[in-house]
A and B are shown apart, each in its own frame.
Chain A
């Protein structure tokens, strides 16, 4: 029948277009903070034009990114949770970890500032004040790098947020941007990496309340997934990407990435 052959041809052509696009590419598991801040939108087109390699990024929380990489669903891991990254390498999932760049976390909140923390330089003290006033606080609650850093601060402040969860402490269980949206929506404080905060487009009357405390330092690391554990890993292409980012050239590009005149990330790879 003519109609069936036509139908079959249409089917095949659709399948073919779906299966095509096979130029060299690697898969990076990374964090929502790097994606939401526009870091990849800036750096990947440059990399592609210089090397011809497409970098595909899956942006999830750091915890999930690491798990996905453990399932061999990545060539490169780019996250910010040093302890978890070291564990990943020690268990043999990663080849080696390199420092890539840093930025810092900032505590943001509404202009009204119900906990009275604005202008402070002490993050732990600010968290104590928020808990005391039972001012709303939105947490990522998604096992991401930011979430891990936040939990460390509550721990230092000696506050049991499990007891407050659902009350003034709200764990959104979502990415950085979604958590910022939620905070703005309900008038809660939250902690964000600076890059995501700068590029966030729905700030409303929100401001940085606390910044500059050394405990708010936020280090990003980059790891090649171990091809011995995961034979599917494109080790050469992955290593090429890592080498490029930590090279003086890559580091310069990272430093040059600015939004509204503000630098988003500070390169600190050890040569």
Chain B
């Protein structure tokens, strides 16, 4: 076994030297996960708001469904997306399998339910406060949804960060639909899996350290934002 300190030394060396491959992988990870996050927010926020604003029949079932989709195993989602995007699958003609787009789709399917379920929870409290006032003012459902999203923005940023954290750290789905192709679909997590299996623990650890730093800074950012929101009484 490589010794622990040696692996760490190698890792920091790679990061400090600005290794091109390393930063290409980090860049693709960020691009794929941010894009998936953007799409997930565009899908998840309105669904969360709709579930809060409309007390339709079967709403409880939909909420339970969305909540349980939060816990779907990434590999299963990866497999389903693979089957859909494969040349032999229903959407194979798009030729998207083994592309960053396929990874974005998989991550979006993975985290949109998380964003929807968590934003519903965040907006529920806000809705309880605003509901009577909105009805008094005759605000339409659509405008109420928009207002909830706008006014719940600081809470929703935390939701988005949770989704991003899950997306960027996920390996099971992206390795199936992305294929871990060098210079094309290799992201941090799949590269860690590969480097580990090559026994190249230094590179794996370097990527791991970057991944963890991103997770930590994302959470620090969330904390800072929360503080700003509280100062303005917008939280």
Contacts and interface: CB of A to CB of B under 8 A. Distances in A.
Interface in B148-199: 179-184, 194, 196-199
B17 interface: no
Given A56-B98, A181-B199, A71 B31 contact: no
B35 A202 contact: no
B1 A177 contact: no
Contacts of A54: 183-184
Task: Give the size category of B's interface with A.
Answer: 20 to 34
B104 A18 contact: yes
A58 B198 contact: no
Given A14-B31, A204-B1, A230-B87, A72 B197 contact: no
A44 B184 CA distance: 14
A165 interface: no
Q: Which of A18, A21, A54, A175 has the most CB of B within 10 A?
A: A18
B223 interface: no
Contact of A200 (B99, B194, B199): B199
Given A56-B98, A57-B181, A184-B1, A36 B197 contact: yes
What is the interface of chain B mostly: helix, strand, loop, or mixed?
loop
B61 interface: no
A174 B95 CA distance: 27
A71 B196 CA distance: 29
A54 B183 CA distance: 10
Contact of B184 (A32, A41, A56, A200): A56
Given A18-B31, A18-B104, A59-B180, A73 B87 contact: yes
Contacts of B89: 71
A6 interface: no
Nearest to B184: A56
A32 B35 contact: no
Q: Which of A15, A27, A36, A73 has the most CB of B within 10 A?
A: A73
Contacts of A178: 196-197
B87 A202 contact: no
B219 interface: no
Q: Which of B38, B101, B198 has the most CB of A within 10 A?
A: B198
B86 interface: yes
Contacts of B32: 18
Contact of B98 (A15, A27, A202): A27
Interface in A12-31: 14-15, 17-19, 21, 27
B131 interface: no
Contacts of B38: 11, 14
Given A14-B31, A27-B98, A181 B182 contact: no
Nearest to A56: B181
Contacts of A40: 182
Interface string A206-240: 00000000000000000000000010100000000
Interface of B: 1-2, 31-32, 34-35, 38, 86-89, 92, 95, 97-101, 104, 179-184, 194, 196-201
18 contacts: A36-B198, A54-B184, A56-B181, A56-B182, A59-B180, A70-B88, A71-B89, A72-B86, A72-B92, A73-B88, A176-B197, A177-B196, A177-B197, A181-B197, A200-B198, A201-B199, A201-B201, A232-B92
